[in-house]
A and B are shown apart, each in its own frame.
Chain A
């Protein structure tokens, strides 16, 4: 293994290939373009397919098709493209099609500022498509973690048959850091195994959390739709078929929370202040916390890697341990809403910057001193 200096976006593409991604469809957009660039160069070398689509609606549709056809699939985009993907993202959630959507967040709304950093799509990642639906969103804080969480995103998407959003940002996506790429053969990959015969196979069986998905073209015939469907995939309005589906699909993450909720904690006994952050802002949070600790203050640090589903229990426990939680983020206060929901009577202090620049350590320290 050798150390390389690499951009976060390049590490995402490498992680995807390591995880077994063999189909990429996308429409280049700053600041995500390097993902497509590396995929277009590297995918053919491993027998994969890269296709540049006419827009992001088609890109999202194509990766759903790619996975239904049996290949692990990914697309990458940023704000405007992520907005266009929402309709088909809901389809993937409804039809339980595993796929990975990379959103390298830039300043919005609308076309905003293509090269400016942001964490403004946190709520869109959760609720951008209509209707109650399960979704997983992971947010890396370094180049090395961009690789690791991309692998994780593929494995979770396969294991739970769900779209997974890699919610990164312009800072982590574009910055270069050293990374030691592992041997891709040694990277853990989750593969779905269908044991049922085509005659008895039920693609949407409500017996268990996740029925394995049979790829098209291998003798399994079934129906896929965005309508509510029965266990073999045909549209239904029968409550005795709709309700078990709702319960299974919307409850599967909660029943497997330990496997899905990733976060890092660094607590000090006696701390009355905590800093909770994610993505690029988590780097600033660490910087500020180290400075405060160097001055003798006790501070708890919580880094959320899984943003959705929100790690409720862990944040509730954090809130119980301190008097206030400072939440720095590059938006006008989005994940802070979730922290507030879990904080009870503890104070939540928002530190926000939504002008395309990073939050600075001084802003966090000033909030702690206020």
Chain B
């Protein structure tokens, strides 16, 4: 069977995690020529509480379109962490904002101060989702750097292209730091 990668992106409503999922799926499907599905949670929990976006990427046909056991979970809020941290499959990757999430001692996580990094890079918290995409793709290579750059640029509202490009770059730099700290 074709290799299937499952990603769950979660945060507070308004942090742009749904859009991050769409951008990741577009990077895979439009710019890398892979198959991708993107789904999301609706309903009361999508407003203010933990909002979640899911992406499945594969070289081949994607049958069941929803995430079954995520290879990667990104949690930018405590609630998102509480709800989804333990859904990551064994050997999978958990990325958290370590200034917003208290990680239990028995949970292995990559910790990056995503929102602070966003403020430092662009002066705004709103680019945290783009930073998260940079970290995610930098660590996993699930889509090519070129593809995610194009996908972010295509979705960036007019006038914010440069801001989002910088945020993505900061995410990739943070991923490099994580990698060098591990090795």
Residues of A within 8 A of B (CB): 3-5, 30-31, 113-116, 171, 174-178, 280, 283-284, 286-287, 290-291, 294, 358, 360-361
CA separation between A177 and B30, bound complex, in Å? 10
Q: Is the CB of A5 within 8 A of B64?
A: no
Q: Tell whether B112 is near chain A: CB-to-CB under 8 Å.
A: no
CA separation between A271 and B45, bound complex, in Å? 44
Report the count of interface residues on B (CB-CB < 8 A): 20
Q: Is the CB of B37 within 8 A of A176?
A: yes
Residues of B within 8 A of A294 (CB): 1
Q: Tell whether B38 is near chain A: CB-to-CB under 8 Å.
A: yes
Q: Is the CB of B36 within 8 A of A178?
A: yes
Q: Is the CB of A176 within 8 A of B25?
A: yes
Of the candidates A5, A287, A290, the one whose C-beta lies within 8 Å of that of B38 is A5
A260 to B: closest C-beta gap in Å: 26
Among B25, B26, B42, chain A packs the most CB atoms within 10 A around the CB of B42
Residues of B within 8 A of A30 (CB): 42
CA separation between A30 and B137, bound complex, in Å? 33
Q: Tell whether B108 is near chain A: CB-to-CB under 8 Å.
A: no
CA separation between A284 and B62, bound complex, in Å? 10
Residues of B within 8 A of A360 (CB): 64, 68
- Tell me whether A171 and B30 are in contact in the complex, defined as CB-CB below 8 angstroms, given that A283-B64, A290-B1, A360-B64 are known contacts: no
Of the candidates B39, B62, B64, the one whose C-beta lies within 8 Å of that of A361 is B64
CA separation between A108 and B26, bound complex, in Å? 33
Q: Is the CB of B30 within 8 A of A3?
A: yes
Q: Is the CB of B64 within 8 A of A287?
A: yes
Q: Tell whether B106 is near chain A: CB-to-CB under 8 Å.
A: no
Residues of B within 8 A of A3 (CB): 29-30
Interface 1/0s, chain B 32-71, versus A by CB < 8 A?
Answer: 0001111110110000000000000000001111101000
Q: Is the CB of A290 within 8 A of B30?
A: no
Q: Is the CB of B36 within 8 A of A287?
A: no
Among A5, A114, A287, chain B packs the most CB atoms within 10 A around the CB of A5
Q: Is the CB of B42 within 8 A of A174?
A: yes
- Tell me whether A4 and B30 are in contact in the complex, defined as CB-CB below 8 angstroms, given that A287-B63, A361-B64 are known contacts: yes
- Tell me whether A5 and B65 are in contact in the complex, defined as CB-CB below 8 angstroms, given that A175-B37, A291-B1 are known contacts: no
CA separation between A171 and B40, bound complex, in Å? 10
Q: Tell whether B22 is near chain A: CB-to-CB under 8 Å.
A: yes
CA separation between A176 and B54, bound complex, in Å? 10
Among A171, A176, A294, A358, chain B packs the most CB atoms within 10 A around the CB of A176
Question: Which residue of chain B has its CB nearest to the CB of A360?
Answer: B68
Q: Is the CB of B36 within 8 A of A284?
A: no
Q: Is the CB of B22 within 8 A of A176?
A: yes
A298 to B: closest C-beta gap in Å: 17
CA separation between A291 and B63, bound complex, in Å? 11
Q: Is the CB of B65 within 8 A of A280?
A: yes
Q: Which residues of chain B (58-96) have a CB below 8 Å from chain A?
A: 62-66, 68
- Tell me whether A358 and B43 are in contact in the complex, defined as CB-CB below 8 angstroms, given that A5-B29, A5-B36, A175-B37 are known contacts: no
Residues of A within 8 A of B36 (CB): 5, 177-178
Q: Is the CB of B64 within 8 A of A171?
A: no
Q: Considering the complex of A and B, which 3 residue pairs feature the smallest CB-CB distances, nearest first? A: A287-B63, A115-B42, A287-B64
Residues of B within 8 A of A174 (CB): 39-40, 42
Residues of A within 8 A of B22 (CB): 5, 176
Contacts beyond the supplied A171-B39, A178-B30: 18 A-B pairs with Cβ under 8 Å? A3-B30, A4-B30, A31-B42, A113-B43, A175-B37, A176-B37, A176-B38, A176-B39, A177-B62, A177-B65, A283-B65, A284-B63, A286-B63, A291-B1, A358-B64, A358-B66, A360-B64, A361-B64
CA separation between A116 and B64, bound complex, in Å? 17
A170 to B: closest C-beta gap in Å: 9
Question: Which residue of chain A has its CB nearest to the CB of B40?
Answer: A174
Q: Is the CB of A175 within 8 A of B39?
A: yes
Residues of A within 8 A of B68 (CB): 360-361
Q: Is the CB of A284 within 8 A of B35?
A: no
CA separation between A31 and B42, bound complex, in Å? 10
Residues of A within 8 A of B39 (CB): 171, 174-176
CA separation between A290 and B25, bound complex, in Å? 23
Chain A to chain B contacts (Cβ below 8 Å), 20 pairs = A5-B26, A113-B43, A114-B43, A116-B43, A171-B66, A174-B40, A175-B37, A175-B65, A176-B39, A177-B35, A177-B36, A178-B30, A178-B35, A283-B63, A283-B64, A283-B65, A287-B63, A291-B1, A294-B1, A360-B68
B96 to A: closest C-beta gap in Å: 26
